[in-house]
Amino acid sequence: MDITRRMMLQTMAAMPLAGGLPVLTRADISMGTAMLTTVSDGHLVLPASFIFDPMPKDELGQILADYGISSEKLEPECNLTLYRDGDHTVLFDAGAGPDFAPTAGSVLDSLDAAGVSAADITHVVFTHAHPDHIWGVLDDFDELVFPDATYMMGRAEWDFWWNPETVNTIGEARAAHAVGAKRRMTAIEDRVRLFDDDQEILPGIAAVSTPGHTPGHMAFEIRQGNSAVLVVGDAIGNHHVAFRRPAWHSGSDQDAETAATTRQVLFDRLTHEDLTLIGFHLPGGGIGRAEKAGDGFRFVGAA
Per-residue model confidence (pLDDT) at position 303: 64
Find out whether 252 and 128 touch, Cβ atoms under 8 Å.
no
The pLDDT of residue 150 is above 60: yes
The pLDDT of residue 175 is above 60: yes
Q: Domain tally for the chain?
A: 1
- Which pTM was predicted? 0.92
Q: What sign results for the dihedral spanned by CA atoms 198, 200, 201, 206?
A: positive
Across residues 133-141, what is the average pLDDT? 97
Computed over its alpha carbons, how large is the radius of gyration of the chain?
18
Per-residue model confidence (pLDDT) at position 22: 59
Q: What is the CATH number of the domain that holds 241?
A: 3.60.15.10
Q: pLDDT band for position 159 (50/70/90)?
A: very high
Q: Rounded CA gap, 176 and 190, in Å?
A: 23
The pLDDT of residue 28 is above 70: yes
The pLDDT of residue 30 is above 70: yes
Q: Which domain holds residue 274?
A: 5-301
Q: What sign results for the dihedral spanned by CA atoms 146, 148, 149, 151?
A: positive
Per-residue model confidence (pLDDT) at position 12: 36
Q: Strand runs (DSSP E) across 170-256, as ranges?
A: 192-195, 200-202, 205-209, 218-224, 227-233
